[in-house]
Structure 1
Amino acid sequence: MLVVDVISQMSQAQTSYVLVFHEQELVGILTETDVVRAIGNRTLFENITVAEAMTQPVITISKADAEQISIVMQKFHQHDLCHLPVMDNNELIGVITRSNVLRVLYSMGVHSEIENLSLVDINARNHAKHMLELQAVITRNMAEGICLVRATDGIIVYANPKFETMFGYDIGELTDRHVSIVNYEDEHTTAEDVNQAIRAAVLRHGEATYEVHNVKKDGTPFWCRATTSVFEHPEYGKVLVAVQQDITEHKQAEDKLQKSLKEKEVLLKEIHHRVKNNLGIVSSLLQMQCRRTQEPQVTSILLDSQNRIASIALIHEKLYRSEDLANINFAQYIPDLVTHLFDSYNTSSSLVKLYLQIEDVGLDIESAIPCGLIVNELVSNALKYAFTNNQAGEILVKLYEHEHQLTLIVQDNGVGLPLDFESKRRKTLGINLIEGLVKQLRGSIEINSQQGTQFKINLKKG
């Protein structure tokens, strides 16, 4: 801190010294003498810091020695002091000044007995006076508006200049006015309703922090963030001390941001809708091509491609219909996807029973699309190959989360994998696609073909 700043505070508080503390330890004292000395030693006075100008180390006196005026006078004379801090167990309890000593000696008379006179009480009162004066200066010059409202009748008994200018009033104009004059009212709530709600909350809890819609003298509404506390004032009794800060610009910026986010949300939903529609067009083209071909193998390939596109389109459909544009709820997605696959392969639900055990797991779009494709491939394979000759069976799809890891299980009780599965594994598009997607999601895959077929896939979430 610069000396010029401290001088202004000293002048306003009408004190001739400032004590300097570091981590609650008294490390220096800056007096008017120190200031004069600093001015004489430096040309650029405005750049002098308190640490450079203050007196250190500080000469102090114990509480016991301060009880003896003769010892006090000896300290002043020996060290040529104007101020003498009084310490009790390393704690400051007061400061004796030379003027204190002179006033006491004058009141006693020249021939009075002075050996047992204590100056600590005199200084304590003097120090308290300075502190009150300093607090008054701070209150007047705070960046926040402060007002004191009498709790009994809601009358403003004090408002600092910042409070009054913030509301568009002249200095002193709000004093003796009812506090509801600064509260905004509309067709639903009166100004007195606002005041009573705040008053009740503060008196109930002793303190309340809130945002309040206020109104200026000229009728302009604006927003404030306020903290109000209960205080027992020696003159006014119980008062509510309100500290308010104008947050109108912050609220306007917040509203603008919310509006912008809403616009982006609408735009994003529209994008997902259009992507879903475009994928639907591609799927329709494949379906048309499928109807025109006479080759069963080509028809099967086109149908698989249609289902893969459908699994992606369903992701975008879920997103644009959802309130949450960031995550897909797989507890809703997987049943819809599997139902589509049953319809696509003309599989009767009475012949092949479907069992779903899906937890409420949310995935972002980057994870949802590959995970959806994996479910599509595994369920499609089960429907196509697990149950031959209209054999009845069961398919289980299970998804759960444990310790930031997702586990997906697709299991059937069909004929199992063919004996040459391992040799053909690398040549099969579906299996290659599954393994590539699992790798993309930093996961692992386990295949069990003891009783039917089970694919167990572990994926890292996030």
Structure 2
Amino acid sequence: RGTRIGAIVLCRDVTEIRHQEQELITKDATIREIHHRVKNNLQTVASLLRIQARRSHTDEARDALTHAMRRVSAIAVVHDTLSEGLTQVVDFDDVFDRVLKLVAEVAASPSTRARTRKSGRFGTLPSEYATPLALALTELVTNAVEHGLAGREGEVEIIAERTEERLAVRVRDSGSGLPEGQVGRGLGTQIVRTLIQGELSGAIDWHTLVGSGTEVTIDIPLRYIGRAAR
């Protein structure tokens, strides 16, 4: 054993680091609180739309208000999920499961009984992808139930296929297929085109399945999503 003749002491002031860490914690809490409040406000708007729809005297007004309520509720689901996490990415499978349940319950009628089935995985998506995609899928599933399966019992299937570069989604129903010249005329279809092509730089296509039913295919590039959101 040697004889100790001295010592080296290293000191580092971590006050600034601790201050930055505290700022990040405060920022995260603030963002979560904002999402929580936005969700609550959206749910209030959805409730008002639902009440007004029930008081409407015409089918056209009632349908328009119900569709608006459903769209607002879909956005609220995304903000609710964001308010529970520490990042601005969401598990879109969880979001879509909740949206799908909402749509199936609201869109169905006494004469239309729809079964919904989802296969594949969407994975995690940043909020700027999750909100428009949730809205677009809400419109597509609603159209499949209300128009594809109108007055009958059937199934709506949603298939998600994700790679490192792309997200492909297919929404298909077992209904009567597309009437000639019907694609692109409704407000819901216009909304979907705007969201997929404009907001997400994706592609969308409608076609009638062999036998019966309609399939809508969506293809979204994921090149702008970081690895953390995969």
Q: 1:182-217 CA distances to partner (integer Å, 9 max, x unpaired)?
A: xxxxxxxxxxxxxxxxxxxxxxxxxxxxxxxxxxxx
Contact 1:329 1:362 in 2 (8 A): yes
Q: How many percent of aligned residue pairs carry the same amino acid?
A: 26
Of Structure 1 and Structure 2, the greater strand share is in: 1
Which protein is bigger by CA-based radius of gyration? 1
| Distance in 2 separating the partners of 1:319 and 1:460 | 22
- Is 1:369 aligned with 2:131? yes
* Secondary structure of the corresponding residue to residue 282 of structure 1: helix
Q: 1:321-379 CA distances to partner (integer Å, 9 max, x unpaired)?
A: 22x3310111111111010111212458x942211114151111111111111110000
Q: Which residue of 2 is the match for residue 157 of structure 1?
A: 4
Q: Which residue of 1 is the match for residue 227 of structure 2?
A: none
* Secondary structure of the corresponding residue to residue 371 of structure 1: helix
Cα gap change, 1:292 to 1:273, in 2 (>3 Å): same
TM-score (norm 2): 0.88
- Is 1:447 aligned with 2:206? yes
Q: Which residue of 2 is the match for residue 412 of structure 1?
A: 173
- Letter of the 1:309 counterpart: V
Residue-pair matches, total: 219
| Distance in 2 separating the partners of 1:262 and 1:434 | 37
Q: Which residue of 2 is the match for residue 430 of structure 1?
A: 188
Contact 2:108 2:145 in 1 (8 A): no
- Letter of the 1:370 counterpart: P
Contact 1:361 1:400 in 2 (8 A): no
* Secondary structure of the corresponding residue to residue 4 of structure 2: strand
**5+ residue gaps in structure 2?**
225-230
TM-score (norm 1): 0.45
Cα gap change, 1:393 to 1:304, in 2 (>3 Å): same
Matches within 5 A, 1:161-240: 163=8, 166=9
Cα gap change, 1:156 to 1:276, in 2 (>3 Å): farther
- Is 1:357 aligned with 2:115? no
Q: Which residue of 1 is the match for residue 228 of structure 2?
A: none
What RMSD over aligned residues (CA atoms) do the two structures have, in Å?
Answer: 2.0
Give 1:337's match in structure 2, choosing from 73, 91, 99: 99
Contact 2:104 2:116 in 1 (8 A): no
| Distance in 2 separating the partners of 1:407 and 1:308 | 22
Q: Which residue of 1 is the match for residue 59 of structure 2?
A: 296
| Distance in 2 separating the partners of 1:446 and 1:406 | 14
